[in-house]
Structure formats: structure tokens, C-alpha cells
Amino acid sequence: MSASVVKREARKGRGRRRNAPMSEINVTPFVDVMLVLLIIFMVAAPLMTAGVPLNLPQTAANAVPTEQEEPLVISVPVEGPTLLMDQPIGDDEMVTRLRAVIAERQSSRVFLRADGGIPYARVVQIMGALNAAGITDIVLVTETGGPRMDG
């Protein structure tokens, strides 16, 4: 009779172990959430760049160092108006708006994004308007991986 009592006590001991609080952290849901967030940011990051689709020319030039404030970007697509940041800007108002924008900024650097399919004369006209507005620090934005001229 004492043997059966011992067996019952052993069963009670095992049952209590099952109901004991879990002292280990379950990291699987945490890892799942982090992977989902990583995928969201990987997809969204390229969309945060300038939203004007341009076919930029390719060069072998080095990248320009980045600045602390958001760069001032002028985009010149093949079709449609010239854009100052994301806003359309006409040729007649370009110089006055550029002067007003540059007066509010710390840096006078302007990034000029011109589609490779537009005439060179149009790019020079835009650069002339930038110069007339008092901007001399002009960066021509291109794609890397273009032909090298040094052999």
C-alpha cells in the first residue's frame, strides 16, 4: 500500500512542474516582428529619395560628401516641367525663387539632376539661371559605373 502512495506523490510532483511559471523568454515573436520591420524599411528606403524618375547619365566620378541639411535638388526630366525639390518651377520664376530659397539655407550647394535624354543646351540654361541667382556650388548628379576615360 505504501508503494501506491509513493507513485501518487510522484505524479503530483510532475503535475506541479507543468503548472510552474515559465522562466525563459520566448524570443520567436520578437524576431518575427523585427524581420517584418526590416523588410518594410528595406522596401521603403529607396522610395524616400527624390521622386522624379530620370535616366541619369553614368560616369566614373566619386561621390560628393553628404551635408547635414537636406540637399537642394533641381530635377530636369525629358518631359514635363523643371522641378525645384518636388515643386514645378517655370523658367521665368527660377532665378527669383532660387534666390529666396538660398537666402534661407545654410549651404548654397545645389544638386542638378538632369535626364540623359535632354539636350545639353537645356542643362547649360539651368546652370546659367543658377549662376544668375548667385549659386556657384553646383553638383551634377549622375549614376556610378560609367565608362572610365583613363584607359
Averaged in consecutive runs of 10 residues, what is the pLDDT profile of the chain (151 residues)?
48 58 82 93 73 66 66 86 87 88 84 87 89 86 76 63
Q: What is the mean pLDDT of the chain?
A: 78
Q: Check which CATH number belongs to the domain holding 129 and give it.
A: 3.30.420.270
How far from 30 is each of 24, 43, 69, 76, 124, CA to CA, in Å? Answer: 14, 20, 35, 45, 54
**40 part of a folded domain:** yes
**118 part of a folded domain:** yes
pTM score of the predicted model: 0.55
Residue 133: domain span: 58-144
Q: Grid coordinates standing for 22?
A: 515559465
**87 part of a folded domain:** yes
The per-residue pLDDT for 37 is: 93
Tell me what percent of the residues of the chain surpass a pLDDT of 70: 72
Strand order in the sheet with 110-114: 87-89, 82-84, 72-76, 110-114, 138-140
